[in-house]
């Protein structure tokens, strides 16, 4: 009997079982959150229409009419309907194609942002004068509005030729995405690289480890818990940067362009506008999920405390 009763206890202590349970719990909570959000949307819509969008003489912050707030089921149904009359191409297919274009551009910017951010983090960790000199400018860089930056990047890129390849408009969008992505990686990477205590660093010094060996064997593994949240934020930021850049530069093919085009039909077809917005939000969730998979791989090979 003792052996039988120990099996559940071992399963409870199994980190992989606990990790799977946490992931299932997150999926359930995500679905519940969507249901709650839809219920709040419909509840606000019903309440606003019943009181004429006024409470004690004060107007509600958002109008609840069908033009401003279409029903949730109308928006969902619009994904399966033709984009235009007389065509068989559905809005769902168009949004998916636009999201795929933006995804590729955002991932290009994400990779560039991660490389630049980690390079800055390593340099600032290695040299104290670099941290004191660069860190304020890294923080200050995020105060520049993308709407003002995007036309400048497009103008500069239009005169460039890289390795014999003429600069394309999507490359400017990727640069803007990288501009937003590098910041959290630089800050999180710096904090993670500085995480090891003095005792651990002194131990590496006692083994006559070089700076590069200490970086690879000690500082980078210790930085993983700090890098994973930074990578998730960088991935989401790259999507935001790509969408905003597409809107600002008028780049065709992406989800940002669809938001502009569908917004022109907001009066006659309000549900269509929300399909592009939902596509952009779903794209951000997909990118965050991909980084979450990377998190599982990185943490699986990271030594456990006390093992």
Quote the tokens at residue 190.
Answer: 């710096």
Tens-digit pLDDT string for the chain (307 aa): 445 444 454 445 566 677 678 778 888 898 899 899 999 988 888 888 888 878 877 888 877 877 788 888 888 888 888 877 767 788 889 999 999 999 999 999 999 999 999 999 999 999 989 889 999 998 888 888 877 787 788 778 777 777 777 878 888 899 999 999 999 999 999 999 988 888 888 888 888 888 888 888 888 888 888 888 899 899 989 999 999 888 888 788 889 889 888 888 877 888 888 898 899 989 988 888 888 787 777 666 554 544 4
Same domain? 150 vs 265: yes
Same domain? 279 vs 183: yes
Query: Residue 173's closest CA among 120, 92, 248?
Result: 248
Same domain? 127 vs 163: yes
Same domain? 131 vs 265: yes
Domain presence at residue 305: no
Same domain? 214 vs 250: yes
Domain of 296, CATH number, reads 1.10.3720.10
pTM of the model: 0.81
Query: Residue 176's closest CA among 76, 108, 81, 103?
Result: 108
Domain presence at residue 80: no
Same domain? 152 vs 42: no
Same domain? 151 vs 255: yes
Same domain? 100 vs 39: no
Same domain? 107 vs 239: yes
Number of domains in the chain: 2
Q: Containing domain of residue 268, as a range? A: 91-300
């Amino acid at each position: 009997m003792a052996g039988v009763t120990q099996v559940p206890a071992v399963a409870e202590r199994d980190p992989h079982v606990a990790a799977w349970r946490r992931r299932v719990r997150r999926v359930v909570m995500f679905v519940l959150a969507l249901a709650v959000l839809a219920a709040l949307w419909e509840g606000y819509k019903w309440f606003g229409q019943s009181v004429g969008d006024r409470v004690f003489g004060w107007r509600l912050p958002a109008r609840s009419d069908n033009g401003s707030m279409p029903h949730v089921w109308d928006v969902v149904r619009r994904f399966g309907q033709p984009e235009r009359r007389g065509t068989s191409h559905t809005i769902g297919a168009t949004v998916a194609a636009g999201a795929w274009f933006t995804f590729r551009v955002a991932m290009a910017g994400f990779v560039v942002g991660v490389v630049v951010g980690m390079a800055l983090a390593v340099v600032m960790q290695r040299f104290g004068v670099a941290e004191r000199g660069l860190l304020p400018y890294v923080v200050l860089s995020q105060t520049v509005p993308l709407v003002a930056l995007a036309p400048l990047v497009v103008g500069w890129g239009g005169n460039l030729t890289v390795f014999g390849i003429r600069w394309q408009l999507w490359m400017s969008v990727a640069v803007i995405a990288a501009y937003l992505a590098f910041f959290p990686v630089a800050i999180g990477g710096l904090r993670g690289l500085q995480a090891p205590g003095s005792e651990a660093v002194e131990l590496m010094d006692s083994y006559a480890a070089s700076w590069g060996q200490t970086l690879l064997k000690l500082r980078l593994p210790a930085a993983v818990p700090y890098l994973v949240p930074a990578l998730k934020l960088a991935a989401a930021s790259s999507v935001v940067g790509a969408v905003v850049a597409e809107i600002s530069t008028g780049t065709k093919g992406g989800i940002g362009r669809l938001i502009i085009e569908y917004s022109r039909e907001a009066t006659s077809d309000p549900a269509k506008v929300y399909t592009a917005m939902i596509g952009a939000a779903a794209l951000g969730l997909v990118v965050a999920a991909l980084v979450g998979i990377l998190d599982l791989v990185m943490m699986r090979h990271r030594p456990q405390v006390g093992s």
